[in-house]
Amino acid sequence: MRRSLHVIREMIRKEFYQLRHDPRMLGVSIVAPVLQVLLLGYAATTDITNSTMVVCDLDHTEESRELIRDFTNSGYFVARYTVDDPAGVDQHIERARANIGLVIARGYGRDLLARRPAEIQVILDGADANTANVLLGYATQIVSTRSQKILAQYASVIHGVRYGQIVPEPRVWFNPDLKSANYMVPGVVGLVLMIITMTLTSLGIVKEKEIGTLEQLMVTPIRPHELILGKLVPFIMIGFVDMTIVLGLARFWFGVPLVGSVALLFGLSALFILTTLGLGLFISTIAKSQQQAMLIAQFFFFMPFMFFSGFVVPIANMPRAIQYVSYIIPLRYFLEIVRGIFLKGTNLLTLWPQALALTAFGATILTLSILRFRKTLE
Amino acid sequence: MSIIRSLHPIIVKEFRQIRRDPTSLGMLLVLPAILIIVVGYALNFDVKHIPLLIFDQSMTPESRALLDQFRHTEYFDLVADVRSYKEIENRILNGDAKAAVVVPPEFARDILAGRNTSVQILVDGSDANSAGQALNYATRMTMAYSTAAIAQAFQFKGGSLSVPIRFEPRIWYNPDLRSSEFLIPGLIGFIIVLTSVVSTSMTVVREKERGTMEQIMVSPLRPVQVIIGKTIPYVGITLLASTIIILLGYFVFGIPIHGSILLLYAALLIVTLGGLGQGVLISTVTDSQQVAFMISVFSSLLPSMLLSGFVFPIASMPIVLQILSNLAVNKFFLVAVRGLMLKGAGFMDLWPQFLYLSLFAAVMLGVSTVRMRKRSV
């Protein structure tokens, strides 16, 4: 036992010596997560703001100007272009200079005053489907608010019918400003932790295989479990450092409110890191070269994890079959945990199924890959 | 002619190496295909079937008529009728429901008396995008109902009224607003970057790590020829992978190609060449595949994923990132590909993008050649 501990300690020392020898590697494992969190934290936003609008007012009446003001005062649209010809609207949309076009036909004001249905047209660039969908929603809201006002006016003032309007009163919990950063940044924490720990582990081990130094280690009296522990412990330590850095950035740089328990957050993150390290080790047992390891990590793990974990798109939006697939993705559970603890302050009473799933994954993957790795060693 | 003859052996060697490693080749060709199918089905920004709670404190025909709108829509799925705010709070906290509608007790009395009344719409804001859409649907449904109710009350008294503003949205290029039409062209750019930049940098560095690069360098071939020979097979693989995606996109997801196929391939080729140049450039900076991989991820993979407008809208990013996004070659490539596939744009519409792409390719190939030459001296 004493001997084992000693061997493992020496192995760890060797690994760190190697890391020091290749300062770029150390830089990559510390600087990279910081840059990734910053970049992702700022870039991964699903907010639709600063949408540009092109307006074509053929009517030029008080009524048409009022409607245009409804659009610009809503805060959703910036009327950047004004044209006199509907073809001009088409052109701006085609060249992707504007996200939305508003055309008010001649006679709009006259029709309204005469209580005939007046027509307006809204043109959207569907090539960007999500933005178009959100903007369509805003536009519909603005127009129906105006419609309702006009209607209520007719009914009450002109015809003496009294019927109250129903005013929707929104209340948003947990993230009152609807800042997508509050949702995305905790997700970024999970994603970055996974990228760094998984790729570093797999590439680090495959590199030794490729250069042949793993063979050299195997002919030494070091026993397989000592070798595995000696190789994994440094990555676990780097993982913990990275974890502290990225969680700190999320809380203090991006100001994501951390409502729940910090200890729970760290504990469950550690559980997640065990899973990703296991995956890294697993990849290293399949891959023959670093290039292969990279491809396997990218295609089989990174991409599906990113898409099916609910990082970009909520799992509830996916087809049923793919929702089932998401159950075998550990990142899914971790995202639920981080988002829950950060925004809602959820505790273990609510999160135990996720924690249990992560534990099961971590234990299975680590055992499996350690067994596989032992085989390659023997 | 003699250049081609002298390149021949190295191309053959590279192909042989790729063939000997069928796993990597398979991954480069098969996985993009799997990915596109999965992404095409899974990435859907449209939020539907939002789990909803209803808290009706009014219990009148009026409130039931309004709430019926919420019960019979694909946007919301009713989880439960609840009796208290406490229940709403618990169910939203543990994730059972994402939204709730609360009708106040004085609802019917107020509207019948001609007073305005309010209906509370509670949403779990943690997922800002979904929450925003849920609010949007709820607001629209409430207002549509209110407008209809006023008109009906008026008709009841013998008049007739119609909705004053007829609103006619026209959605171009992708009228059903399918996310796949938006994402799959972006996926092409992403996969090109993966195969060109990442694979090239790693194959070249691998030869350096193993020392076989030295062996090639002492051959009578000039470094530039070595690089061309090594990268030509990857041009082939990249174009093949893109073709697979385009065909799958067309046949499986019905993603049209309205523009010129020739121009589309011209754009693909230019970006691939630029990516290969970038890959070679990275390989001149480092001797370790691990570092080469990390640099590739940072200089190309992440920007093309995040800053190109592939998934996240550039206009919503902070201004610094909007400026930085101009360095992501995929941003321009995406405008070109979406233009060519979805909008049927022509060269006249897209020449600025083509100009930028060509500049990128020229700079990358130029700089990497110069650096290669320097190292070999």
* CA end-to-end span of chain B: 26
Q: Indicate the SS3 state at residue B143.
A: helix
Kindly state whether residues B265 and B333 are assigned to the same domain: yes
Together in a domain, B9 and B65: no
Mean pLDDT, rounded, for A263-277: 91
Which residues, at least 6 apart from B270, have a Cβ–Cβ distance to it below 8 Å?
A: B354, B357, B358, B361
Of B147, B298, B312, the CB nearest to A46: B312
Residues B116 and B190 in one domain: no
What is the number of domains present in chain B? 2
- Distance from C-alpha of B241 to C-alpha of B28, rounded to nearest angstrom: 7
Cα-to-chain-centroid distance, residue B109: 49
What are the pLDDT digits (tens) for B322-366? 888 888 888 899 889 988 888 888 888 888 899 999 999 999 988
DSSP string, B19-67: HH-HHHHHHHHHHHHHHHHHHHHH-------EEEEEEESS-SHHHHHHH
Task: In whole angstroms, give the CA distance from residue B44 to residue B41.
Answer: 7
**Above pLDDT 90, what percent of chain A?**
16
B184 found inside a domain: yes
Q: Tell me which chain B residues have a C-beta less than 8 angstroms from the C-beta of A304.
A: 38
Single-letter code of the amino acid located at A59: D
- Which DSSP state fits A59? S
Closest to B166 (Cβ–Cβ): which among A47, A117, A159?
A117
Cβ within 8 Å, pair A43-B38: no
Q: Which two tokens stand for residue A10?
A: 């020496």
Per-residue confidence (pLDDT) for residue B60, from 0 to 100: 92
Q: Is residue B169 part of a domain?
A: no
User: What is the structure's pLDDT at B21?
Assistant: 73
Q: Which among B43, B170, B206 has CB closest to A123?
A: B170
Residue B377 pLDDT = 44
**Whether B226 and B132 share a structural domain:** no
Residues B35 and B65 in one domain: no
pLDDT grade for A330, boundaries at 50, 70 and 90? very high
pLDDT in tens, B230-264: 888 888 888 888 898 889 888 888 888 888 999 99
- What lies within 8 Å, CB to CB, of A189 at 6+ separation is A37, A246, A247, A250, A338
The chain-wide mean pLDDT, for chain B, equals 83
Among B156, B186, B217, where does a domain finish? B156
Q: The domain spanning residue B121 has which CATH number?
A: 3.40.1710.10
Q: Do A129 and B147 touch (CB under 8 A)?
A: no
Q: Is there a contact between B123 and A172 if contact means CB atoms under 8 Å apart?
A: yes
For residue A72, give every residue at least 6 positions away whose Cβ sits within 8 Å of its Cβ, in sequence order, or none. Answer: A53, A78, A79
Q: In which domain, by residue range, is B193 found?
A: 2-43+177-376
* C-alpha radius of gyration, chain B, whole number: 29
Give domain status of residue B168, yes or no: no
Mean pLDDT across the stretch A31-58?
Answer: 83
Q: How far apart, in whole angstroms, are the C-alpha atoms of residue A361 and residue A376?
A: 22
At residue B376, does pLDDT exceed 60?
no
Assess A95–B contact: CB distance below 8 Å, yes or no. Answer: yes
Q: Which residues of B touch A49 (CB under 8 A)?
A: 315-316
- Which residue of B20, B124, B126 is the best one to mutate when testing the A interface, meaning the one whose CB has the most A CBs within 10 A? B126
Q: Is residue B194 part of a domain?
A: yes
The answer to whether the CB atoms of B38 and A322 lie below 8 A apart is: yes
Asked whether the beta carbons of residue A43 and residue B154 sit closer than 8 angstroms, the reply is no
The region of weakest confidence among A84-98, A196-210, A280-294, B5-19 is: B5-19
Tokens linked to A38: 């910053």
- Mutate which of A120, A295, A348 to test chain B, going by most B C-beta atoms within 10 A? A295
pLDDT for B82 beyond 50: yes
For A207-239, the pLDDT digits (tens) are 888 888 877 877 787 787 788 888 888 888 888
**How far off is chain A from B185, nearest CA to CA, in Å?**
10
The DSSP symbol for A117 reads: P
Pull the structure tokens for residue B184.
Answer: 């799959």
Look at A317 and B343 and tell me if their CB atoms are within 8 Å: no
> Mean pLDDT throughout B18-35?
75
Distance of CA B335 to the CA centre of its chain: 12
Interface probe for B, chosen from A63, A183, A317, A336 (most Cβ of B below 10 Å), is A317
pLDDT digits (tens, 9 = 90+) for B268-312: 999 999 999 999 899 888 888 778 887 888 788 878 888 888 888
CATH 3.40.1710.10 in chain A is located at 51-158
Distances, alpha carbon A112 to alpha carbons A62, A148, A159, B150, B201, in Å: 11, 13, 16, 17, 65
Q: Is A19's Cβ below 8 Å from some Cβ in B?
A: no
Please give the average per-residue pLDDT across B127-147, as a whole number: 84
More confident residue, B210 or B374: B210
Q: Round to whole Å and give the CA distance between A360 and A364.
A: 6
Least confident of A41-50, A106-115, B280-289: A41-50
**What's the ipTM?**
0.72
Pick from B156, B191, B220: which residue ends a domain? B156
Average the pLDDT over A120-147 and give the result. 84
Per the domain annotation, does B212 fall within a domain?
yes
Share of chain B above pLDDT 70, in %: 94
B342: left (phi over 0), alpha (psi -120 to 50) or beta: alpha
Q: Report if residue B163 sits inside a domain.
A: no
- Single out the residue of A273, A291, A251, A311 nearest to residue A194, CA to CA: A273
DSSP H or E stretch at residue B122: strand B117-124
Q: Choose from A266-280, B2-16, B204-218 the range with maximum mean pLDDT.
A: A266-280
Window 101-140 of A: residues touching B by CB (8 A cutoff) are 112, 115, 117-134, 136-140
Taking an 8 Å cut-off on Cβ atoms, the answer to whether B131 and A172 are in contact is yes
Cross-chain CB nearest to A146 (options B114, B165, B338): B165
For an interface test with A, give the residue of B37, B52, B165, B285 to mutate (most A CBs within 10 A).
B165
Q: What's A51-158's CATH class?
A: alpha beta
Choosing among B85, B143, B194, B255, which should be mutated to test the A contact, i.e. which has the most A CBs within 10 A? B143
Total count of residues recorded for chain A: 378
Q: Is it the case that residue A369 has pLDDT exceeding 50?
A: yes
- Interface contact A18, partner B, CB < 8 A: no
Check whether residue B233 and residue B181 sit in a common domain.
yes
**How high is the pLDDT of residue B275?**
92
Q: Indicate whether A57 pLDDT > 90.
A: yes
Q: Are B45 and B129 in contact (CB under 8 A)?
A: yes
Query: What local confidence, expressed as pLDDT, does residue A143 receive?
Result: 87
Q: Tens digit of pLDDT for each residue in B35-63? A: 777 777 777 777 778 899 999 999 999 89
Per the rule left: phi > 0, alpha: psi between -120 and 50, beta: everything else, B280 is: alpha
Question: Do the chains contact at B182 and A130, CB–CB below 8 Å?
Answer: yes
For residues B205 and B282, membership in a common domain is answered with yes
- Please name the residue of chain B whose CA is at the shortest distance from the CA of residue A287: B23
Closest CB from B137, B145, B167 relative to A122: B167
3 state DSSP class of B193: helix
- Cβ contact (<8 Å) for B127 and A199? no
pLDDT digits (tens, 9 = 90+) for B180-204: 787 888 888 888 887 788 878 878 8
pLDDT band for B94, please (50, 70, 90 cuts).
confident
Within a domain: B333 = yes
Cβ(A262)–Cβ(A252) below 8 Å: no
Q: Does B302 touch chain A (CB under 8 A)?
A: yes
The SS3 assignment for B367 reads: helix
User: How would DSSP label each residue in B341-354?
Assistant: III---HHHHHHHH
Q: Does B346 touch chain A (CB under 8 A)?
A: no
Residue A16's pLDDT is: 80
Closest C-alpha to B167, from A125, A138, A83, A98: A138
B residues 166-205 closer than 8 Å to A (CB): 166-179, 181-182, 194, 198-199, 202-203
In this structure, the answer to whether residues B213 and B85 fall within a common structural domain is no
Angle at B307 between CA B356 and CA A305, to 5 degrees: 135
Tokens of A148: 């309702």
